[in-house]
Amino acid sequence: MKILSKIIVALAFLAINPVASASPLYLGNVDLSDQLEREVLKLPPCSASWNRPVTEVKLEVRRNAADIEFVRVKFQNGDTYRLNVREFFQVNSSSRWIDLQGYARCIREIRIVGDAVTFGHTPRKKSRIFLLGR
């Protein structure tokens, strides 16, 4: 009986709090080499795909450490938003959820400027940046 009441309370919390029930949306990933570069991730139109409106984004770094200067988000309605990250990320680390000021909007493209942190010139070693939204 106690288990059933705990399940009901948990479901009620998820129904009341939409942020807790919203799972992160995988937007895509880009690879950064060991030289400062700009990578662009283009997303499909919001109305005809899995792309849905988001209010926050998160960066996750895999493979190699990365030094990210800034992220520019371009929305479907033409608005742009520049996130000055200027942060060093260790391997398997992530940023906090970064608020995209305003209401929930569909993203058209995300531009990342940064580089992988490797020792010496190693053109094959890259950082993979995963982008999530909610």
- The predicted-structure confidence for 73-101, as pLDDT tens digits, reads as follows 999 988 999 988 888 889 999 999 999 98
68: enclosing H helix or E strand: strand 65-75
- The predicted-structure confidence for 104-128, as pLDDT tens digits, reads as follows 999 999 999 998 887 766 667 888 9
Side-chain-side CA neighbours of 15 within 13 Å: the count stands at 6
Taken in order of first residue, the domains within the chain and their CATH numbers are: 24-133 (2.60.120)
**CA-CA distance, 52 to 133, in Å (whole number)?**
9
Q: Quick one: pLDDT at residue 113?
A: 92
